A and B are shown apart, each in its own frame.
Chain A
């Protein structure tokens, strides 16, 4: 992932927030899902290591399936991550790729790379969506850098908040 790619994805995520008029944390992820015609459902039958998945329906709508046996903050992050895939149109990219006439083995290796990248970009999108730069900076000041409180306000895990603060050069020490 180049810095430009990451920045672009972050701008996209913030554009979604401003379009929906979301100005305060915690970000209502279900409202955003609804905006994108994605229905969020839980499953209690997913394997433990699968957090969720995105199903594009024929009628243009989506279903986001979330593993019910994960923490609340993880569930929220999973939905945000899948919205990332949806918004960045990853399913269409893959579809285009597979519809090429002949797939060389080099192309398949490329695809593995691309898939890994898509996952990372979806994470970047999710992190910006749930913890947008301007809000995190404002609340960082308001809460005097208390990571536990910040995580609570943004409804994310402490680890996710720590990573975010580090990215924004706000983590002391």
Chain B
């Protein structure tokens, strides 16, 4: 990943944490939302001034703002650094953060592993290797040592001729907001209509809709107060 992409991902992560739409954040920092979108995709680099504004809007308190600024400007420094050294710079503390995330993740939900185990049992290891999902990886997932992303769950469901919806529900990969806000029937219908899309597109759609529902939920709560 390039430093531009890393910076973009970090901004997006915080924007979503705050439940802001691109438009909302754009308004707050006085730029067109498309500019922010490009920055988040790592296709453009922000100015120092804009980056400071972003840190201010995205942080919840002063302490966080300070940390965020530090991380933001570190990436910006990498972006502006000469090509030869730009990817060699390392941000202190980044590794520790990653480790923490890994520890928090336990095995996948039992209901999912049960169904997956049954489906895997009737197939040969080559079946998975040929489909581009190494069998060894699936074993590790079954042993609770590794995780499947949502995209991989969708891929596997298609591969096994299973209902994608069922797999996703069991893997707890259908966000809670879906059922809370749409109701069960709408969720099922939505998943049916997404079925024709390739796994990566379906994954994109689900996370896009999740973000939107979360944001709307938040707005709802704040107007109720």
Check if A47 sits within 8 Å of B181, measured CB to CB. Answer: no
**Residue in contact with A55 in the complex, picked from B21, B180, B182, B185, CB distance below 8 Å:** B182
Q: Is the C-beta of B146 less than 8 angstroms from some C-beta in chain A?
A: no
Check if B181 sits within 8 Å of A57, measured CB to CB. Answer: yes
Interchain nearest-CB distance for B121 vs A (Å): 28
Q: Spot the interface stretch: A91-99, A132-140, A151-159.
A: A91-99
Residues of A within 8 A of B211 (CB): 43, 45
A41–B218 CA distance with the chains assembled, in angstroms: 15
Q: Is the C-beta of A50 less than 8 angstroms from some C-beta in chain B?
A: yes
Q: Spot the interface stretch: B47-55, B62-70, B102-110, B200-208.
A: B200-208
Interface of chain B, helix or strand or loop or mixed? Answer: helix
Q: Is the C-beta of B158 less than 8 angstroms from some C-beta in chain A?
A: no
Interchain nearest-CB distance for A124 vs B (Å): 20
Q: Is the C-beta of A44 less than 8 angstroms from some C-beta in chain B?
A: yes
| Proximity bits, A31-52, B CB within 8 Å = 1, else 0 | 0000000010111111101100
Q: List A residues at the B interface (Cβ < 8 Å).
A: 39, 41-47, 49-50, 53, 55-58, 63, 65, 68, 91, 94-95, 98
The 6 closest A-B pairs by CB, nearest first: A47-B201, A45-B208, A58-B183, A43-B208, A44-B37, A56-B186
Offer 11 A-B interface pairs, CB within 8 angstroms, sorted by A: A42-B23, A45-B207, A45-B211, A55-B213, A56-B182, A56-B186, A57-B181, A58-B181, A63-B216, A68-B22, A68-B37
